[in-house]
Amino acid sequence: MALDDATTALLAELAKAGGPPIAELVPAQARSVSTALGDLSGVGPRLHAVRDDTIAADDGYDIPVRVYSASDSTRGVIVFFHGGGWVIGSVDQYDALSRRLAQATNCVVVAPDYRLAPEHRFPYAVRDAWDATMWASSSWPDEPLIVAGDSAGGNLAAVVAQRAVAESGPPLALQILVYPVTGHDVDTVSYLDPANQLLLGRDTMIWFWDHYAPDPATRLSPEASPLQGDPAGTPPALVLLAEHDVLRDEGEAYAALMADRGVTVQLTIFEGQMHGFFQLINVLPGAEQAVQAIATHVNTVLGA
């Protein structure tokens, strides 16, 4: 199926702007490009409360975190890890989406600004994601806890879900994985499909991996590639994938692995969408459709 009209129009506008692909940039330049793309989403909805805080990491680093509340009646907590290949992306860039998630689910959304590579390579992002989850659990001990993320953030959510089982961590009510990075094989059918070389292409994903985990042996760790781990005992999963995405095959493979290991999985593939559509709230209609799918599923899990 072809890309939808909104995505086609956006790509045409981006092509007019020109500029080299991310894989030809240094991280600082790539972050500037990513920020500009995030700015397209504009301002998210006004909420009951939005506050910035910090989380003390085990190594003494203070992890910035932003907490979004749509009301003063908390029904659950979503720890949301932003995407960006562990190299780009930020809480500020995802502010509009985080606000919309809080509004749509009426859950507190906890968005950590985990440390990025190459300044902080694997496993720093994993450590920060775990610390943020533990902080959320201790801050709202009586509320259902959900981990969520898109792309590299989906990778972190899946890793945290596995670690919570392995280390008897806080019980999780749900994991929401939006086109997650679950493996490191860049020669799958979806990786090699020319139709999938869009906002995220094979070359860019190789660039991300080379900055995050340059040692190929490191990528075999389940905390880098959840497909290498055992998801048995992890919470029910909502997996949202894009039809035109180099990561589609590994997303489907991880959904199948979870189902095989007894995890309840709901998988949806958004036709006509590309990798990155979810973060473009207020720009691509598919983003709002994904938010609605998440809200519906959260209502089912937590009780409408």
Kindly list the catalytic residues.
151, 245, 275
Helical spans, DSSP H, in the chain = 5-17, 27-39, 95-105, 124-139, 152-166, 189-192, 202-212, 248-260, 285-302
Residue 6: CA atoms inside 13 Å, Cβ hemisphere, count? 14
SS3 113: coil
Tokens of 88: 């780009």
H or E stretch covering 274: strand 265-274
Token reading at 198? 């869009």
Q: How far apart are CA 59 and CA 71, in angstroms?
A: 34
Q: How many CB atoms lie within 10 A of CB 46?
A: 9
The torsion region of residue 121 among left (phi > 0), alpha (psi -120 to 50) and beta comes to beta
